Amino acid sequence: MENQFLVDSKHLSPAALEKKHRLETDPSSRSNHMEYMPGMEIIDSDVCHRVISQMDAYDYSQYTARDVRAALDHETCSIEDFKALLSPAAEPFLEEMAQRARVQTSRHFGNTVYLFTPLYIANYCENYCVYCGFNCYNHINSMKLNMEQIEHEMQVIAQSGMEEILILTGESRAQSDVEYIGQAVKLARKYFRMVGLEIYPVNTGEYRYLHECGADYVTVFQETYDAAKYETLHLYGHKRVWPYRFDAQERALRGGMRGVAFSALLGLSDFRKDALASALHVYYLQRKYPHAEMSLSCPRLRPIINNDKINPLDVGEKQLCQILCAYRIFLPFVGITVSSRESAAFRNGIVKIAATKVSAGVSTGIGDHESKYTGRQDDAAKGDEQFEIADERSFEAMYKDMSGEGLQPVLNDYVYV
Amino acid sequence: MMMDNDKLVIGGHEFTSRFILGSGKYSMKLIEAAIKDAGAQIITLAVRRANTREHENILDYIPKGVTLLPNTSGARNAQEAVRIARLARELGCGDFVKVEIMRDSKYLLPDNQETIKATEILANEGFVVMPYMYPDLNTARDLVQAGAAAVMPLASPIGSNKGLATREFIQILIDEIDLPIIVDAGIGRPSQACEAMEMGAAAIMANTALATAGDLPLMASAFRQAIEAGRKAYLSGLGRVLTRGASASDPLTGFLHD
């Protein structure tokens, strides 16, 4: 079964509709997704080749219970062991994997759980990615906050007690250029201890500028590591260029960022191969940049505005749990973030096994923190949300719940130097 | 009694306890147990964790009378360590500083070269510098020259609870370096702490071994006793331990009469 992503808005002009349909149905109308666009920096790196050759050769049906048993008996988890742990043969071992993952998590992170919140400052997007609420053919309220509005949102969030923020934009250089994002980062440094970015991939020099503004962590989701599948989902815009996206974390580290985060969007393609590639992306970059802090996320597809049928297909909670346990056993030192795409019950459980960071007080819309945090309605325009969230707990509720689970919520473990 | 005057002296400051709480995993319960049951008089504090606003500031957890040992975790080179140490001083954490510099996020192994550089700068600024290091004699000598107040070699990778993997090299530091050698990182059991103390280590730093124990206060008191037992054994002068064979009670050379 596949998701039905394609939805026509009645607000599109006949010309726009015609172009949209052509992109959807005629591959020759789409640009070459492996070819860099003008202005995109090309770096010399072998990481992509290493990751993708492993992923292409991965046949998870070949692994047996014996391989999984051996993997769990080994003191350190090799790439081969990790492949076994991701395979269907490992499904009956889920509880044992969770026990092992829990020991590793506790050894490296104690009983802590980090809290953060995302802040979307603009949702304009120039890309047609068929599964995303912000895509340029989806009829939504588009909005970009000005600096005064951004500061107001930050004040509301900071008052809740949050000390770490992740600034997000839609992928539009025209509407949200690097300087605009840099200004927002500078503002964020006034209110938050730690500032991360989840924006469109940029060049090394631009990452350096954003680092100097005060950001130190960069998250880029590859969506899917299967470039051929990627091509069928990202039909138009600069995001279509798959290799430029792949090298984003490496450029960010070269630009001076302290840490980088990775993920595939689970449900878009073969999730076992995507999980393998995500972890190997971390593994090989860590060997090349051993000082860097690395973290993995695990987003699954969610419904979006104008398409409430989108779902993560064969990636159920058990599969997600298996992936996260395998990540933890293979990469004991990496952070693992579980977002509000997942339910409260899942997040309460997974923080005791493998996850080290959860979001709280989340809005994926634009300019609506005041009404969401305080219940106070204002007349100001709001921008629509990127996707529907599943866990709506506030910062206070999350803090209380995590403490109630026997964990120690941590708001900051970072100093900008 | 020799034990009555047995003090740990670091940078002119005297301590009767030889257990130091590390900073990796913090909780109110851990700090309580470390002070009450393990007898800790020095508690490490990660500046990056103390650098927080209202909720759960670690500084609020630590009672008066306990010496704070802020560390520079998060520093990737000497320059960053120096900046974090200065920030600790501004935060009111005193003059002690544990220099901790890592360029490796996987094993968190210390960078000895950068550690020497940071130690020199901070000692010149009047800090009581306690550098965390990979046990290497040349580095330890350079740290003495740089003005360190103690040397803190790792026993095995941090958080691993694997014990004295670097035993032989720590022994060399104990034998050759005149500063207190404080074994830091990797001590997972009271017996390992005891062994290090028998070898002549001046103190033990631990965190994970306590933090991940089933009964925290009980484990804390076990560490206290193990460290004290090891210290007593060291001070008493260990009896002969034969590594191979037996010793003849009549000397083989007894026939020589000249």
Residue A227 pLDDT: 97
Q: Residue B74 is nearest to which of A408, A411, A415, comparing CB atoms?
A: A415
Task: Please state which of the ranges B130-134, B196-200, B240-244, B253-257 shows the lowest mean pLDDT.
Answer: B240-244
Average pLDDT, integer, range B113-126: 97
Is position B247 within any domain?
no
Residue B36 falls in the annotated catalytic set: no
pLDDT digits (tens, 9 = 90+) for A303-319: 888 888 888 888 899 99
Q: Do A286 and B54 touch (CB under 8 A)?
A: no
Whether the predicted pLDDT of B19 surpasses 60: yes
Is position B138 within any domain?
yes
Is position B249 within any domain?
no
Please tell me the distance in Å from B214's CA to the nearest CA on chain A.
Answer: 13
Is the model more confident about A138 or about A246?
A: A246
pLDDT digits (tens, 9 = 90+) for B135-158: 999 999 999 999 999 999 999 988
Average pLDDT, integer, range B213-237: 90
Average pLDDT, integer, range B176-205: 94
For chain A, which domains are there?
47-410 (3.20.20.70)
Range of A3-12, B36-45, B187-196 with top mean pLDDT: B187-196
A189 vs B: CB within 8 A: no
Residue A369 pLDDT: 87
Domains: count for chain B: 1
Residue B51 pLDDT: 63
Residue B254 pLDDT: 74
Is position B253 within any domain?
no
Q: For residue A220, with 0-12 CB atoms within 10 Å meaning exposed, 13-18 middle and 19 or more buried, which class applies?
A: buried
H-type helices in A110-177, by residue range?
Answer: 147-160
The answer for A 54-73 residues in CB contact with B (under 8 A) is none
Whether the predicted pLDDT of A402 surpasses 80: yes
Task: Please state which of the ranges A70-79, A274-283, B230-239 shows the lowest mean pLDDT.
Answer: B230-239
Q: Three-state SS across B173-233?
A: HHHHCCCCEEEECCCCCHHHHHHHHHHCCCEEEECHHHHCCCCHHHHHHHHHHHHHHHHHH
Average pLDDT, integer, range A391-395: 91
Please tell me the distance in Å from A334's CA to the nearest CA on chain B.
Answer: 8
Average pLDDT, integer, range B112-136: 97
pLDDT digits (tens, 9 = 90+) for B49-94: 776 665 656 667 777 788 889 999 999 999 999 999 999 898 888 8
Is position B198 within any domain?
yes
Whether the predicted pLDDT of A272 surpasses 60: yes
Residue A373 pLDDT: 85
Q: Do B105 and A286 touch (CB under 8 A)?
A: yes
Kindly report the CATH number assigned to the domain that includes residue B109. Answer: 3.20.20.70
Whether the predicted pLDDT of B23 surpasses 80: no
Residue B246 pLDDT: 63
DSSP category for residue A383? B
Instruction: Record the tokens describing residue B10, joined without a space.
Output: 């670091």
> Pick the catalytic residue: B29, B64, B98, B162?
B98
Instruction: Record the tokens describing residue A209, joined without a space.
Output: 């500028």
The answer for A 215-254 residues in CB contact with B (under 8 A) is none
In angstroms, what CA-CA distances link A227 with A32, A35, A130, B7?
A: 11, 12, 15, 65
pLDDT digits (tens, 9 = 90+) for A44-98: 999 999 999 999 999 999 999 999 999 999 999 999 999 999 999 999 999 999 9
Residue type, A409: P
Is position B242 within any domain?
no
CB contact set of A26 (below 8 Å; sequence gap of 6+): none
Residue B55 pLDDT: 60
Average pLDDT, integer, range B172-200: 94
CB contact set of A323 (below 8 Å; sequence gap of 6+): A86, A266, A271, A275, A298
Please list every residue in chain A whose beta carbon sits closer than 8 Å to the beta carbon of residue B161.
107
* Residue B155: domain span: 2-236
Residue B216 pLDDT: 86
Is position B254 within any domain?
no
Please list every residue in chain B whose beta carbon sits closer than 8 Å to the beta carbon of residue A290.
103-106
Average pLDDT, integer, range A344-367: 93
Q: Residue A107 is nearest to which of B48, B83, B208, comparing CB atoms?
A: B208
A163 vs B: CB within 8 A: yes
CB contact set of B224 (below 8 Å; sequence gap of 6+): B19, B37, B38, B39
Residue B245 pLDDT: 61
Residue A121 pLDDT: 94
What sign for the dihedral angle of Cα B35, B38, B43, B46? negative
Is position B251 within any domain?
no
Q: For residue A313, with 0-12 CB atoms within 10 Å meaning exposed, 13-18 middle and 19 or more buried, which class applies?
A: middle
- Average pLDDT over chain B, rounded to whole? 88
Percent of chain A past pLDDT 90, that is, above it, reads 74
Residue A304 pLDDT: 84
Please list every residue in chain B whose beta carbon sits closer than 8 Å to the beta carbon of residue A328.
none
Closest CA to B81 of B112, B52, B56: B112
pLDDT digits (tens, 9 = 90+) for A378-390: 777 788 888 888 9
First and final C-alpha spacing in chain A: 49
Average pLDDT, integer, range A355-372: 90
